[in-house]
Amino acid sequence: MSSVQKALEIALGFGYQIDPSALKLLVKLGEKRCKKTGEADPSFEAIIKEAIALKGKSQSGLTIQSRDLKEAFPIIFDFVDTPIVLPEDPVQTEGNFLKSDVEVVKDPSGDIQPTGIEGFAQLFKSRYDKILHILMERPEARQITKISKVNMEKGNVKIAGLVFGKRPTKSGGIEVTLDDDSGRTTVLALSQDAKRSVGEITLDQCVMVEAEASQGRLLVKNIMQPDIPSKLASTSKKSVYVILLSDLHIGSDKFLEGAFMRFLEWVGGRSGISEEDQEIMRRLKYVVIGGDVVDGVGVFPNQEFELSEQNIFKQYEMVYEKLRLVPKHLQMFVIPGNHDATRQALPQPMIPKKYAESLHKLENLKMLGDPCLLKLDGVLILSYHGRSLDDVLATTPGLSYEKPEEAMKVLLRARHLAPIFGHRTPIAPETEDHLVIDVVPDIFHAGHVHTVGQDRYKSTLIINSGTWQAQTGYQANLGISPRPGLVPIVNLSTLDVVWKDFLTSSSINSRQAG
């Protein structure tokens, strides 16, 4: 069945006819796409559904006209009526483009050295060494004693180790088991302050414990996490902007194509530009996409029933068809997520060329691994898809999906992007732990949880950039309400954030995330 026939069936299923002029426009779009991209029979399901949705709101008849199609997706049908040349940005013109200043500080794609099961010992040794080095930068942590040399009978002692376990005791305390490279011991938290500190740490993270030895036991006096220091954030010397996106999930039948096309019209300077937007558009330079650009295939059981496209190659071609509309003066960066076609275990290399060849060929798009550290106009941006946020939210009391920024603070305090081992987040055995946050970012960007969040923690701006997918059945079962269509735009000279709402066609407004 051709895509045009399928579109007819969808319209009839909703009680609508398609006017011959609209049908001709669909055929013309298909022919032009085939000629330009080689893509055969593009799907018009989303176009028809969006046109029907708009018709339903206006109640202007049961026949879909060509004007209804153009109203639903003006940027697509401008493609039919004009030569295949992307329009020049009406705000930025060739002569006043701001030059990009980009440095890829860290990208795991070229550094991954997978090993066998024995590599986990190397991985945790690397984690311990790296975070111990971070702890030792503090004056109060410079007298750390190895566990094997602790006098258990008397005196105060400082030890550092990976949290192997936590369990309540019959006396109402909490026993914490610590490992270092010399041995293992337990410490006991009895006071309310000590127990509160234990509740704030995760399993498998590295901490320093100040304890008092008494009758063969170590009683916790204080627990110090590696944490990020208080410092002045680096900012750009000139006013430039970056857009932070994530979780497009193109290929899902819940992908909000109408909202995303409105975003593309806006970012191309063609629609929805308010007077307040003019300065942003003149100084917009970067777009960072934090993973899950496609919904993938076989990611979870019965996923095929929730897909509009079941071919992974075609899903990435659909991504290309959209991102090619982003103006060429904007530099894009794409990292993978757990729905993308690369290895699931962290760290993830970039999405391979064999799955997304067209994206790799886009001149203004750079594929990177997850996580990656970018320096854009002097500002360090740590972009991470956020898979481990599920584990943090599930194991840390008081946190919820409604405020993902709080879970991101847990990672910053732990100085590790996936401190919890053996839960939902797969971590690969590597000779080096690439997930340690050894460089403090000015902006920490993540996605994955499909809700949005913004906060500042010490000097770091935290952004969780939400999604472009409506609520799935899985999320409904968990009681998670996604907040799609919101776009954070960060001024790199001030680290101030403007949120733009593209969910409704009638309003594209700034909106606070909180």
Look up the CATH number of the domain holding residue 44: 1.10.8
How does DSSP classify residue 148?
G
Shared domain check, 208 and 317: no
Shared domain check, 183 and 316: no
- Can you tell me the mean pLDDT for 184-208? 93
What pLDDT score does 47 carry? 72
- Can you tell me the mean pLDDT for 184-204? 93
Shared domain check, 242 and 198: no
Shared domain check, 197 and 332: no
Distance, in Å, from the CA atom of 474 to the CA atom of 464, rounded to the nearest integer, reads 20
Rg of the chain on CA atoms, in Å: 26
Closest CA to 282 of 269, 264, 265, 263: 269
Shared domain check, 243 and 216: no
Assess if residue 511 is contained within a domain: no
Closest CA to 320 of 51, 33, 29: 33
Taking CA atoms, 236 is separated from 228, 241, 346, 356, 494, in Å, by 21, 10, 31, 33, 8
Query: Cβ-count burial of 457 within 10 angstroms (0-12 exposed, 13-18 middle, 19+ buried)?
Result: middle
Per-residue pLDDT of 279-318, as tens digits, reads: 899 999 999 999 999 999 988 888 888 899 999 999 999 9
Assess if residue 124 is contained within a domain: no
Tell me the Ramachandran region of residue 28: left when phi exceeds 0, alpha when psi lies from -120 to 50, beta otherwise.
alpha
Instruction: Indicate if the pLDDT at residue 186 is higher than 60.
Output: yes
**What's the first-to-final CA gap in the chain, in angstroms?**
46
**What tokens does 14 get?**
């909703």
- The CATH number that applies at residue 216 is 2.40.50.140
Assess if residue 89 is contained within a domain: no
Give 285-338 as a DSSP string: EEEEEES--B--SSSSTTGGGGBS---HHHHHHHHHHHHTTS-TTSEEEEE--T
The per-residue pLDDT of the chain, averaged, comes to 86
Instruction: Indicate if the pLDDT at residue 91 is higher than 50.
Output: no
**What confidence category does residue 20 fall into, taking pLDDT thresholds of 50, 70 and 90?**
confident
What pLDDT score does 457 carry? 97
**What tokens does 154 get?**
């008397």
pTM of the full predicted structure?
0.81
- Can you tell me the mean pLDDT for 485-490? 96
Shared domain check, 431 and 448: yes
Shared domain check, 67 and 27: yes
Q: Which helix (H) or strand (E) holds 374?
A: strand 372-376
What pLDDT score does 4 carry? 67
Number of domains in the chain: 3
What pLDDT score does 39 carry? 44
Shared domain check, 306 and 160: no
Q: In this structure, how many other beta carbons lie within 10 angstroms of the beta carbon of residue 324?
A: 18
Assess if residue 11 is contained within a domain: yes
Contact status, residue 346 vs residue 417, Cβ threshold 8 Å: yes
Closest CA to 249 of 289, 305, 294, 312: 294
**What tokens does 131 get?**
């975070």
Shared domain check, 452 and 372: yes
Assess if residue 463 is contained within a domain: yes
HEC secondary structure over 13-30: HCCCEECHHHHHHHHHHH
Shared domain check, 200 and 55: no
Assess if residue 117 is contained within a domain: no
Contact status, residue 326 vs residue 364, Cβ threshold 8 Å: yes
Question: What is the extent of the structural domain holding 22?
Answer: 3-81
User: In percent, how much of the chain has pLDDT > 90?
Assistant: 63
b or e along 285-302 (b: 16 or more beta carbons within 10 Å of the residue's beta carbon)?
bbbbbbbbbbbbbeeeee
Question: Which residue, of 209, 224, 239, is where some domain finishes?
Answer: 224
What pLDDT score does 110 carry? 86
Assess if residue 98 is contained within a domain: no
Full strand arrangement of the beta sheet holding 379-383: 102-106, 372-376, 379-383, 443-446, 460-465, 452-457
Contact status, residue 176 vs residue 163, Cβ threshold 8 Å: yes
Contact status, residue 445 vs residue 380, Cβ threshold 8 Å: no
Shared domain check, 216 and 246: no
What pLDDT score does 64 carry? 79
Per-residue pLDDT of 361-382, as tens digits, reads: 999 999 999 999 999 999 999 9
Per-residue pLDDT of 232-275, as tens digits, reads: 899 999 999 999 999 999 999 999 999 999 999 999 988 778 88
Instruction: Indicate if the pLDDT at residue 94 is higher than 50.
Output: no
Distance, in Å, from the CA atom of 347 to the CA atom of 435, rounded to the nearest integer, reads 7
What pLDDT score does 55 carry? 63
Contact status, residue 415 vs residue 477, Cβ threshold 8 Å: no
Contact status, residue 369 vs residue 347, Cβ threshold 8 Å: yes
**What confidence category does residue 54 fall into, taking pLDDT thresholds of 50, 70 and 90?**
low
Shared domain check, 159 and 27: no
Per-residue pLDDT of 151-177, as tens digits, reads: 887 789 999 999 999 999 998 999 999
The C-alpha torsion from 115 through 382 and 325 to 343, rounded to 10°, is: 20
Strands (E), 127-182: 156-168, 174-180
What pLDDT score does 299 carry? 85
What pLDDT score does 138 carry? 83
Assess if residue 118 is contained within a domain: no
